[in-house]
């Protein structure tokens, strides 16, 4: 289990994920600008501890993912959507995980710009 948060701490969560597995660096118009590193987990492996009322939603492109931002600090620590099989998932911005050493991550580059 890992804990994470937005910058101001209004949005806090716990997530079960394996950071020994590669995370995704996407170059789509959103992730590329934000420098997001993503790990996709089943919704059951994610628990929002605080801040549901601090979140604001943004959709773009195909509107398949609810990009959620803290309305105070503007950080997107996670997004909600569905896996290819239709099951609920959470896309966690692993850069928002507490105490994470980015140098130890394995990065999988995804060409979201052309997807």
Q: What is the CATH number of the domain that holds 36?
A: 2.170.150.70
Instruction: Please measure the distance between the N-terminal and C-terminal CA atoms of the chain and give it in whole angstroms.
Output: 31
SS3 state at 22: coil
SS3 state at 27: coil
Is residue 46 a part of any domain in this protein? yes
> Is residue 30 within 8 Å of 67, Cβ to Cβ?
yes
Is residue 70 a part of any domain in this protein? yes
pLDDT, residue 69, reads 93
pLDDT, residue 63, reads 63
Is residue 20 a part of any domain in this protein? yes
SS3 state at 87: coil
Is residue 31 a part of any domain in this protein? yes
Q: In the block, which residue shows the tokens 């507490």?
A: 98
Is residue 54 a part of any domain in this protein? yes
Is residue 35 a part of any domain in this protein? yes
Domain count along the chain: 1
> Is residue 43 within 8 Å of 80, Cβ to Cβ?
yes
User: Which string of DSSP letters, residue by residue, matches 31-85?
Assistant: HHHHT-EEEEEEGGGEEEEE-GGGEEEE--TT--SEEEEETTT----EEEEE-TT
pTM of the model: 0.89
Domain with 93 in it: 2-110
Is residue 115 a part of any domain in this protein? no
Each residue's pLDDT, cut to its tens digit, for the chain (115 residues) gives 999 999 999 999 999 999 999 999 988 888 888 889 999 999 999 999 999 999 998 877 666 789 999 999 999 999 999 988 999 999 999 999 999 999 999 999 988 888 7
């Amino acid at each position: 289990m890992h804990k994470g948060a937005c910058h101001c701490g209004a949005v806090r969560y716990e997530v079960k994920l394996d950071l020994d597995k590669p995370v995704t660096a996407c170059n789509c118009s959103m992730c590329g600008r934000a420098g997001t590193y993503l790990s996709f987990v089943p919704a059951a492996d994610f628990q929002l501890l605080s801040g549901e009322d601090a979140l604001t939603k943004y959709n773009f492109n195909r509107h398949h993912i609810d990009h959620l931002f803290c309305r105070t600090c503007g950080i997107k620590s996670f997004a909600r959507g569905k896996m290819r099989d239709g099951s609920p998932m959470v896309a966690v911005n692993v850069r928002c995980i507490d105490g994470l050493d980015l140098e130890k991550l394995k990065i999988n580059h995804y060409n979201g710009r052309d997807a």
